């Protein structure tokens, strides 16, 4: 099965295109869809721009002596220690402990053989002279400049190494695509739960709208049964290319299809047929954006964060569209900014949606915040 992108005719930036559900889809339902007929697959578009290869996937092209690496290690730790709780106090950023752990992970991704790493910290080691050559996946100079960016520019660690460990897999990420959050992992757990109870959902068609790096879509793709499929969409070109890369890296191209476009626009052809719809849309209230933690506010794409004046623009749009997109019995899960947003959303979906949804629930994340709204289409 080949990949297909459906590109929107709209140009960026834009938000909230009107739902055009009355338009009959001109796109054939491809063989990608469950229980499909033998129609020809959609055209394959070249992937552009090409995503950056994350550090850990690069071949070793450089090397440094053990003692040079030790020097880097103690320099990097020195920087981490100089931070103390400065970032933590100013905007809830990383403290020394966390930064030290990041150094360990950075080195894990940067060296060819990680067995050497535990020795870096210990002062005396009789079996190491210091002149041993360690193969690296980047130049030592670059290692220095990366860690410098981490501290001086507050460049997110995940952009530095080019990946984020999420659930039990590793997603490639880069500037222009949101780094998936730990909270969002739980959406996949929730899907896993409903899917385990209902075969129709296991084999059905799912959509992950605003997929970013492809995180949720891939997570769902990995738990669905043979017949189950996921369409993962994003309006951002970078996100589409990164998500496509991640889908392919996990060999899920037959299960997870990445499409480009705004919210429901790229899934017009399957409206009313979805077994499930999940999304973690931008939900930060616009006025909070200038005060965000530096790693987020200065480095992550605004398109992925800005949810309009109250942060609810996209959520409301999705909530409205999901009643049309989901088939009967279809499941939905949305991530929100927390307590107020989820209460409002749940309220709308129960009392103001003409009884179209059932079992609407608010679910908490592991910090006890009312993070998600879930339910079913009647």
Partner 1 sequence: MGLFLLKHWRTKMPSNLHRNPRIPFMSLLSSSSTAPSMPQTESAVFHTPLFAKRPPFFLQFTRGFAASSQPDLDPQTSDGLTVDGIVARSWPILDEGESDWRSHAASVALSIQLMKRRLQWKKMALRVEQLSAELNKPDLWEDPVYAGKISREHGMYMGKMKEVNGFEQDLLEHIDMLKLAREENDTELESESMKALLRMRRIAKEKELEALLAGEHDSCSCFIEVQGGAGGTESMDWAAMVMNMYKLWAQRRGFEVTTVDEMPGEIAGIKRATIKVDGEYAYGYAKSEVGVHRLVRISPFDSAKRRHTSFAAVAVIPILGDSSSRFQINESDLRIERFRSGGAGGQSVNTTDSAVRIVHIPTGVTATCQNERSQHQNKAMAMAVLQSRLDQLEMARQAQMNAQHTQSLTDISWGNQIRSYVLHPYAMVKDLRTRYEVSDPDSVLEGDIDGFILSYLSSTVDKDEETNI
Point out which residues bind partner 1 (CB under 8 A): 92, 94, 97-98, 101-102, 105, 115, 118, 122, 124-126, 156-158, 164-168, 178-179, 181-183, 185, 280, 282-284, 288, 292-293, 295-296, 300, 304-305, 335-338, 365-369, 371
Distance CA 210, CA 214 (A): 9
Please, which of residues 157-196 interact with ligand SAM by CB under 6 A?
Answer: 178, 180, 184
The number of beta carbons lying within 10 Å of the beta carbon of residue 31 is: 15
Q: What would the DSSP string read from start to end of 232-281?
A: EEES-HHHHHHHHHHHHHTT-TTTEEEEESSTTGGGGGGTT-EEEEEE--
Nearest-approach distance from CB 180 to ligand SAM, in angstroms: 4
| Residue 270 or 304 with smaller CB distance to partner 1 | 304
> In this chain, which of 70, 96, 158, 211 binds ligand SAM, going by CB under 6 A?
211
Residues near 81 by beta carbon (within 8 Å), at least 6 away in sequence:
96
**What, of ligand SAM, partner 1, none, does residue 206 touch, CB below 5 to 8 Å by kind?**
none
Per DSSP (E only), the strands in the chain are 62-65, 133-136, 163-166, 169-172, 205-209, 229-234, 256-260, 274-279, 326-335, 357-364, 370-377
**What, of partner 1, ligand SAM, none, does residue 234 touch, CB below 5 to 8 Å by kind?**
ligand SAM
The number of beta carbons lying within 10 Å of the beta carbon of residue 301 is: 16
User: Would you state the torsion angle of the CA atoms of residues 219, 230, 257, 318, taken in this order, to the nearest 10 degrees?
Assistant: -100
Choose one: 45-53, 102-110, 193-201, 212-220; the region binding ligand SAM (CB under 6 A).
212-220
Give the contact letters, 273-312, x = binds to ligand SAM (CB under 6 A), - = no: -------xxx--------------------xx--------
Which residues contact ligand SAM by CB under 6 A? 15, 178, 180, 184, 209-213, 215-216, 233-236, 239, 262-263, 280-282, 303-304
């Amino acid at each position: 099965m080949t990949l297909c992108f459906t590109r929107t005719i709209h140009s960026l930036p834009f938000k909230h295109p009107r739902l055009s559900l009355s338009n009959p889809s001109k796109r054939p339902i491809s063989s990608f869809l469950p229980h499909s007929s033998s129609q020809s697959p959609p055209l394959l578009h070249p992937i552009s721009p090409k995503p950056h290869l994350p550090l850990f996937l690069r071949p070793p092209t450089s090397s440094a002596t053990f003692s040079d690496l030790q020097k880097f290690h103690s320099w990097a730790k020195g920087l981490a220690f100089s931070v103390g709780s400065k970032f933590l106090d100013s905007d809830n950023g990383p403290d020394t402990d966390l930064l030290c752990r990041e150094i360990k992970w950075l080195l894990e991704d940067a060296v060819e053989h990680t067995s050497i790493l535990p020795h870096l910290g210990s002062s005396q080691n009789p079996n190491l002279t210091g002149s041993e050559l360690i193969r690296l996946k980047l130049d030592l100079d670059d290692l220095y400049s990366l860690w410098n960016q981490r501290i001086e520019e507050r460049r997110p660690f995940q952009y530095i190494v080019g990946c984020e460990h999420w659930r039990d897999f590793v997603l490639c990420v880069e500037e222009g695509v949101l780094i998936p959050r730990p909270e969002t992992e739980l959406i996949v757990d929730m899907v896993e739960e409903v899917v385990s109870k209902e075969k129709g959902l296991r084999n059905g068609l799912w959509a992950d709208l605003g997929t970013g790096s492809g995180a949720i879509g891939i997570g769902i793709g990995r738990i669905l049964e043979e017949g189950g499929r996921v369409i993962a969409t994003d309006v951002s070109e970078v996100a589409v290319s990164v998500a496509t890369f991640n889908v392919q890296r996990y060999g899920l191209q037959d299960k997870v299809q990445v499409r480009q476009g705004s919210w429901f626009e790229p899934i017009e052809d399957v409206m009313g047929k979805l077994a499930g719809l999940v999304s973690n849309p931008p939900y930060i209230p616009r006025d909070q954006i200038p005060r965000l933690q530096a790693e987020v506010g200065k480095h992550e794409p605004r398109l992925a964060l800005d949810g309009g004046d109250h942060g609810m623009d996209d959520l409301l749009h999705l909530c409205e569209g999901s009643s049309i997109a989901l088939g009967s019995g279809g499941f939905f899960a949305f991530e929100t900014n927390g307590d107020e947003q989820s209460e409002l959303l749940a309220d709308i979906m129960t009392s103001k949606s003409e009884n179209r949804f059932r079992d609407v629930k608010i679910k908490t994340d592991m910090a006890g915040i009312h993070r998600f709204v879930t339910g079913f289409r009647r």
